[in-house]
């Protein structure tokens, strides 16, 4: 199985901060990577797919980059509604697997 | 507007069976790549199974041989038959629609989830 490792597990930040979350795959996955945002009690929401393509309706302050085994999700200026847990997920090979999540909390 | 709505969750004893359903509106289940994804209480996300528009199915190792994904074209529904349930299957189960044919594992559409609790 392809292991996905996110860092950090928790991130303390303030409104307006630039935030970067890293996701590493245990083997190359090309750009078959998605990023999701999840808020408590809610289903995940797709933010980015194919590593860098912004899902329709997602604010342009979110961006994704990377290929192979190293990927990043960047929030250019953290907004109050962005405090949530973020997951990366690979869909290069079965089983499709998620990172353990990164919780972005108030500093 | 696309809506996915799961049903069928509940409390079940270990070893029991349960069938989850996902009703879709504004979205054709049989034309898309539909998955089940679960989340144990307070834990991360785990992909469970996918059914492709052509009918191919794939499963996580943890459920292979016990779970079966299927769809009902006339009713525009997705199902997950779960047998030999264990406490480790306790989770919220989401149905999710793949974004497109090139990104079947990127889910742009999600239901609200249905809770399955396996306990004696």
pLDDT in tens, B43-62: 889 999 999 999 999 999 99
SS3 content of chain B, % helix, strand, coil (to 5): 5, 55, 40
Q: How far is CA A59 from CA A32, A77, B93, B107, B113, in A?
A: 21, 11, 27, 18, 25
Q: How far is CA B114 from CA A51, A53, B57, B117, in A?
A: 29, 30, 21, 10
**Which residues from B are below 8 Å from A44, CB to CB?**
37, 45, 94, 107, 110
Q: How far apart are CA A69 and CA B62, in angstroms?
A: 25
Q: What is the largest CA-CA distance in chain A?
A: 38
User: ω into residue A8 within 30 of 0, thus cis?
Assistant: yes
Using the Cβ of A83 and the Cβ atoms of chain B, whether some distance falls under 8 Å is answered with no
Residues of B with a Cβ under 8 Å from any A Cβ are 35, 37, 44-47, 50, 58-61, 94, 99, 102-108, 110-113
Radius of gyration of chain B (CA): 13
> Who among B59, B61, B110 is closest to A44 (CB)?
B110
pLDDT 10s digit of each residue in chain A, 107 long? Answer: 999 999 999 999 999 999 999 999 999 999 999 999 999 999 999 999 999 999 999 999 999 999 999 999 999 999 999 999 999 999 999 999 999 999 999 98
H or E element, residue A64: strand A62-67
The number of residues making up chain A comes to 107
The chain B residue lying nearest A50, using CA atoms, is: B103
How close B22 comes to chain A (CA, Å)? 14
């Amino acid at each position: 199985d392809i292991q996905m490792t996110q860092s950090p597990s928790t991130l303390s930040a303030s409104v307006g901060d630039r935030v970067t979350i890293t996701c590493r795959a245990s083997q190359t996955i090309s750009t078959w990577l998605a990023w999701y945002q999840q808020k408590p009690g809610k289903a995940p929401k797709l933010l980015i797919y194919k590593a860098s393509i912004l899902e329709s309706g997602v604010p342009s302050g979110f961006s994704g980059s990377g290929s192979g085994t190293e990927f990043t999700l960047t929030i250019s200026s953290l907004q109050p509604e962005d405090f949530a847990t973020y997951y990366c997920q690979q869909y290069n090979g079965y089983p499709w697997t998620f990172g353990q999540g990164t919780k972005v909390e108030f500093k | 507007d696309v809506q996915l709505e799961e049903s069928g969750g509940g409390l079940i004893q270990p070893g029991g069976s349960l069938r989850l359903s996902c009703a879709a509106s504004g979205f054709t289940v049989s034309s898309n790549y539909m998955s089940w994804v679960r989340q144990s209480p307070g834990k991360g996300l785990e992909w469970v199974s996918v059914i492709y528009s052509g009918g191919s199915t794939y499963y996580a190792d943890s459920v292979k041989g016990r779970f079966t994904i299927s769809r009902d074209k006339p009713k525009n529904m997705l199902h997950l038959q779960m047998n030999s349930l264990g406490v480790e299957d306790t989770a919220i189960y989401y149905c999710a629609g793949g974004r497109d044919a090139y990104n079947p594992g990127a889910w742009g559409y999600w239901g609200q989830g249905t809770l399955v609790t396996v306990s004696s």
